[in-house]
Amino acid sequence: MKPRIEVVAIDSLMVRLFDTIDEANMPWILAANQRLRAAFGEHLVDLVPSYTTLMLQSNLAPGEARARIGQALEGLQPDAGHSGRRHEIPVWYHASVGPELALLAARSGLSEDEVIGLHCARDYPVFALGFAPGFGFMGLVDERLATPRLSTPRKRVAAGSVGIAERQTAAYPAVSPGGWNLIGRTPVRLFDRERDGYSLLQPGDRVRFVAVSHTEFMALGGDDRPLEALA
Question: Is residue 45's pLDDT more than 90?
Answer: yes
pLDDT digits 0-9 by tens, 67-94: 999 999 999 998 766 668 999 999 999 9
- pLDDT, tens digit, 9 for 90 and up, residues 109-161: 999 999 999 999 999 999 999 888 899 999 899 999 999 999 999 999 999 99
If 0-12 CB within 10 Å is exposed, 13-18 middle and 19+ buried, where does residue 55 land? middle
Residue 200: predicted pLDDT? 94
Average pLDDT of the chain is 93
Top pLDDT among 88 and 3 is at 88
Give the number of C-alpha atoms closer than 13 A to the C-alpha of residue 98, restricted to the C-beta side: 26
- pLDDT > 90? residue 221: yes
pLDDT at 231: 58
Name the E strands within 19-67. Answer: 44-49, 53-58
- What torsion do the CA atoms of 114, 120, 123, 126 make, to the nearest 10 degrees? 110
Using CA atoms, how far apart are residues 85 and 201, in angstroms rounded to an integer?
8
| pLDDT of 102 | 96
| Res 64: pLDDT | 96
Percent of the chain past pLDDT 90, that is, above it, reads: 84
**Rounded to whole angstroms, how far apart are CA atoms 202 and 146?**
23
Cα 73 to the center of its chain, rounded Å? 24
Which residue segments constitute the domains of the chain, with CATH numbers given? 4-72 (3.30.1360.40), 86-230 (2.40.100.10)
